[in-house]
Structure 1
């Protein structure tokens, strides 16, 4: 193999390597863009989850208050029932 043939072979391989490196660079850019899109979506999801958390906590607080009211009314009803029973016993 002559020096010229060897140089042409090396030049061809360098050309292939250059093409491969450019392809890898494009892939890397696409990966970075995809990563940025995913990070943005995660940020949106985290914000939505935070909003849902606040709504759920508010709803739970309202439920607790409602349950407390129901317990108070139930206690009043039991008290009224006990008074009515006592009054009925006196009448008989």
Structure 2
């Protein structure tokens, strides 16, 4: 299967590129691959729209002067770390 066919049917790679594009730059090749995939995948198009909204909301939350003192509870952090460790092992 040629490389363009692979991205056409690869939602995992497409969602990775969507996220990568939002936090930095993607190469011209990646832009083309993503465009090809999005042209035929309504699910990934929806994911891209939702991801943009979520990222904008998170950025505004952390840029808000009201929330500069936003911190996670230590017990919550320990529990979260424990759950992550369990899932990764």
Would the TM-score normalized by the shorter structure come out above 0.5? no
The structure whose residues are more often helix, as a share, is 1
Taking structure 2 as the reference length, the TM-score comes to 0.29
Please, what TM-score do these two structures have when normalized by structure 1? 0.28
